[in-house]
Structure 1
């Protein structure tokens, strides 16, 4: 069961591009993969440099479901640094020390208040686009943190939040399993729909055609999400922190006729979260 608010089909699949808005090369790939390939959804970074271009492309792609990709680590904030000095550097950018920042979110009331303000600002920025909110997830899966999750659910409810990514991959590390179980329970209690599993964590940045075809050959029952980082260029040309990512190979996989044929054969029920998670 994919959340108390949804009924899962025996097998359904969502193919999502993360980091929509990060770079024009990412946005171009998302448009290509939706128009000419098998991409169903994209997760928008509302404060990223190419967010306006991403929104313009999404508006001309009625088949693309768009969600909010909350950025609370390794990326730019929506609010100016003076509003959230406990969270960002002087340039308004979140750092990459997620364990440290997670402790600060949990223990420091001032940091939590600033975190709530930033999460609200990102939801407000998404709402201002006029796009329907298909789902919410967080950059680097930071919504696994209980404080981030609590604020996301409380604030997101005001903006029509109905679905959240459950980043549960087969053979998830033991360290993550309690947090995944907690996330699943919290989503169920809140009546927020979710996928049953993901594919893409173990091969992040390397979801090429062969990897994707192998994954499709062993999909379990339930609602799955396979997420990608496509772009028309790769690695550091997109951003320095993704130096080893093979973005162009991931785009090629989404455009592959062999992938489309495998999908049509094994899991014809596909779409965004709103499409494959029907209300009870």
Structure 2
């Protein structure tokens, strides 16, 4: 099977931070039922993860992936098992440069990181939901050690697709590394989107941004538009999200104008499983991933 982005013009709408708060979960459910949202990325250790899973089970068309948290969030394992990774409250820090250096150079830190990544995959598997995709909070899978561990461990849990955070206008210094990440995913037989929309306007993916993205889609390729929708009242959950316009993003996802623009664009849309594999995972379907080829 040739990688579908060679001949397919497709778009995936994804909501990150599913499980962070019940108001995030409610927004995801509404955006899927009433709007254009195809997929959501689950934080398995977050406070409202159980509520998110319950909602996902009521929404068979919502594709759910794993949003691995290795920075600025709660861990799955207790601090006693990963003391080099989290603070006394069991939370990862937000100094990703420092932690990235430690992941690369310190074997004992790397071993704890592998345990935590496995624990998050295991927690997702325990939900019984099909694994549509994997990505990471703050794109930490761009780190070579993190990416290697996700690929190695994820294969055991049905990993078939990952987000490639390559956006038009990305800094020139970052593009060579993004292309290396793309090559590693291709070699591993893991499907990936060709481009994303959501980095430059993180927290401000309003109707105007979505309409502009749809109007300027490339002639071919698989794109992912990712957002952080929520009902009002979650702005202060984490310091890094205080300026996010969550309700504007929810309004955009349920906007009739956005739905009409998407229909007029005549692009295929759905979750990663729909776009790359024709539907959610089935027994034996993991073998399909080995047939995916780079574009």
Aligned equivalents of 2:196 and 2:101: distance in 1?
A: 26
Call closer, same or farther: CA 1:133–1:227 in 2, change over 3 Å. Answer: same
* Structure 1 residue 216: Cα displacement: 1.0
Aligned equivalents of 1:22 and 1:179: distance in 2?
A: 30
TM-score by length of 1: 0.96
Call closer, same or farther: CA 1:239–1:149 in 2, change over 3 Å. Answer: same
Pair 1:43-2:41 in alignment: yes
* Structure 1 residue 5: Cα displacement: 7.1
Conserved? CA contact 1:163–1:273, under 8 Å: yes
Conserved? CA contact 1:5–1:191, under 8 Å: no
Conserved? CA contact 2:21–2:234, under 8 Å: no
TM-score by length of 2: 0.91
State the partner residue of 1:182: 180
CA RMSD of aligned residues (A): 1.3
Q: For residues 47-100 of structure 1, what are the alpha-carbon distances to aligned partners after superposition, in whole Å with 9 as ceiling and x for unaligned? A: 001000000000000110000000000000000001001100011100000010
Which one of 11, 14, 18 corresponds to residue 13 of structure 1?
11
State the partner residue of 1:173: 171
State the partner residue of 2:271: 272
* Structure 1 residue 175: Cα displacement: 2.7
Aligned equivalents of 1:267 and 1:76: distance in 2?
A: 40
Aligned residues: 277
Where do residues 67-86 of structure 1 align in structure 2 (5 Å cutoff)? Answer: 67-86=65-84
Aligned equivalents of 2:239 and 2:58: distance in 1?
A: 30
Aligned equivalents of 2:213 and 2:29: distance in 1?
A: 23
Which one of 158, 161, 175 corresponds to residue 160 of structure 1?
158
* Structure 1 residue 238: Cα displacement: 4.0
Where do residues 177-216 of structure 1 align in structure 2 (5 Å cutoff)? Answer: 177-216=175-214
State the partner residue of 2:258: 259
Aligned equivalents of 2:149 and 2:247: distance in 1?
A: 35
State the partner residue of 2:97: 99
Conserved? CA contact 1:25–1:238, under 8 Å: no
Query: 192-201 or 226-235: which moved more?
Result: 226-235
Aligned equivalents of 1:168 and 1:268: distance in 2?
A: 20
Aligned equivalents of 1:197 and 1:111: distance in 2?
A: 32
Conserved? CA contact 2:24–2:229, under 8 Å: yes
Unpaired runs of 5+ residues, structure 1, are none
State the partner residue of 2:215: 217
Structure 1 stretches of at least 4 aligned residues deviating more than 3 Å after TM superposition: 237-240
Aligned equivalents of 2:2 and 2:138: distance in 1?
A: 25
Conserved? CA contact 2:65–2:134, under 8 Å: yes
Conserved? CA contact 2:23–2:234, under 8 Å: no
